[in-house]
Amino acid sequence: MSTLPVIAAVDGSDDSLRALEWALDAARRRTAPLRVVHVRQYAPWAQPEVLAAMPPADEDPVLDQVRGHLEGRAGLPDTEYTGAEGVPSAVLAELGATAQLLVLGSRGRGGFASLLLGSTGLALARDAECPVVVVPRPGREVHGEAPELPGPRVVVGLHADSPDEATLAFAFAEAALRHARLQVVAAYPWPAQAWLFPGEMPPPAMDQDAIENETRALAEGFLAPHRERHPEVRTTTQVSAGDAAGHLVAASQGADLVVVGRHRRRLLAPARMMGSVTQAVLLHAASPVAVVPPHPPEE
């Protein structure tokens, strides 16, 4: 059985070359082939002279640039170059169905320079059937204290009320591949709010220590089977009050990767959803972010 490739989406921008380097490293760690993909998108209303100036389908300057960028390097994985035409998010999402990982930069050549994340990255994080890694531009500043944990580090968000096994499995596997510590961030809402109907008695006051201890106990229970499968992975559990996205963004300082899940489809919301925490982490994290779809794949 052949190993599924790691896809690097390129468009000639510096952002996509950074993503290419990340994808190349990921393919090496997985002993997987690398597939470099460039999707050319042209406006359907382009003038005839513009269409006539387009290079033939079998000629792609962006892929030629990548070939030159990688030329002469030792230890490259098996590398395939693919050119396609269409809407990048749709084409790449379709190709992601036959890949183990899809990697792209936070911004491409198109769009507005002020945007923190391009539309293709948002769409792929929401729609692709394989995990999607978005590599940010260097120097992104985040607020909050960076964790004082030595060595390489992978961060994963854990929702103690409804943990996603696919996200935890990916994070443990990635930490094992990188010989990295896994920092598990489990946040709980505080101060707790209770909505009351007129005349209804308020509930007893909640003990923050009790809520934190319960959150930690739940988190440790969900982590136990993954620790058994990956005894070589050192784990640190951070249980914090307040905004989960803020804690994950703060933890991204100096991290190799932040891993977050994508929402499952719900009965009253059948469309694919990404979730506000995942979107905030994609927009603001200083490290690459992996968005993991639910498992098994949605129907």
What are 8-36's pLDDT values in tens digits? 999 988 999 999 999 999 999 999 999 99
Query: Is there a contact between 107 and 134 (Cβ–Cβ < 8 Å)?
Result: no
**C-alpha angle 162-164-168 in degrees, rounded to nearest 5:** 130
Does residue 186 sit in the same domain as residue 113? Answer: no
Helical H segments across the chain, by residue range: 14-30, 48-53, 61-70, 88-96, 119-127, 165-178, 208-229, 244-251, 276-284
Name the residue with higher pLDDT: 68 or 266: 68
Q: Is 3 helix (H, G, I), strand (E, B) or coil?
A: coil
Residue 148 lies in a domain: no
Does residue 166 sit in the same domain as residue 78? Answer: no
**Helix 88-96 to helix 119-127 angle, to the nearest 10 degrees?**
30
The rounded distance, in Å, linking the Cα atoms of 33 and 88 is: 21
What are 178-232's pLDDT values in tens digits? 999 999 999 887 666 555 556 665 555 567 788 888 989 999 999 999 999 999 9
Name the residue with higher pLDDT: 5 or 190: 5
First to last CA, the chain: 24
Q: What is the mean pLDDT of the chain?
A: 83
The rounded distance, in Å, linking the Cα atoms of 211 and 242 is: 12
Neighbours of 113 (CB within 10 A): 5
Residue 188's pLDDT is 85
| Structural domains of the chain, count | 2
Does residue 102 sit in the same domain as residue 159? Answer: no
What are 151-163's pLDDT values in tens digits? 899 999 998 877 8
Name the residue with higher pLDDT: 140 or 69: 69
Does residue 52 sit in the same domain as residue 97? Answer: yes
Does residue 165 sit in the same domain as residue 284? Answer: yes
User: Cβ contacts of residue 133 below 8 Å, gap of 6+?
Assistant: 19, 22, 23, 26, 101, 102, 103, 104, 257, 288, 289, 290, 291
Domain CATH for 260: 3.40.50.12370
By residue range, what is the domain housing residue 69? 6-135
Residue 85 lies in a domain: yes
Enumerate long-range contacts of 216-223, CB under 8 Å, 24 or more apart. Answer: 216/186, 218/160, 218/161, 218/186, 219/158, 219/160, 219/163, 219/184, 219/186, 222/158, 222/160, 222/163, 222/168, 223/158, 223/168, 223/184
Does residue 110 sit in the same domain as residue 41? Answer: yes
pLDDT band, very low/low/confident/very high, at 266 (cuts 50, 70, 90): very low
The residue out of 100, 135, 170 marking a domain boundary is 135
Cα-to-chain-centroid distance, residue 263: 13
Q: What is the DSSP string of 198-225?
A: TTPPPPPPPPHHHHHHHHHHHHHHHHHH
The residue out of 89, 104, 135 marking a domain boundary is 135
Does residue 237 sit in the same domain as residue 205? Answer: yes
Residue 216 lies in a domain: yes
Residue 111's pLDDT is 45
pTM: 0.84
- Name residue 193's amino acid: Q
Residue 177's pLDDT is 97
Q: Is the pLDDT of residue 1 over 60?
A: no
Domain CATH for 125: 3.40.50.620
Q: Is the pLDDT of residue 144 over 80?
A: no
Alpha carbons within 13 angstroms on the beta-carbon side of residue 260 total 28
Residue 113's pLDDT is 41
In this prediction, residues 118-138 reach a mean pLDDT of 88
Does residue 118 sit in the same domain as residue 47? Answer: yes
Does residue 94 sit in the same domain as residue 20? Answer: yes
User: Cβ contacts of residue 223 below 8 Å, gap of 6+?
Assistant: 158, 168, 184, 235, 237
Residue 297 lies in a domain: no
Residue 51's pLDDT is 41
Residue 143 lies in a domain: no
Residue 87's pLDDT is 87
Between 154-163, 164-173, 188-197, 262-271, the lowest mean confidence (pLDDT) is in 262-271
Residue 109's pLDDT is 52
Residue 98 lies in a domain: yes
The residue out of 106, 135, 164 marking a domain boundary is 135
pLDDT band, very low/low/confident/very high, at 269 (cuts 50, 70, 90): very low
The rounded distance, in Å, linking the Cα atoms of 236 and 294 is: 24
Does residue 162 sit in the same domain as residue 285? Answer: yes
Between 97-106, 204-213, 237-246, the lowest mean confidence (pLDDT) is in 204-213
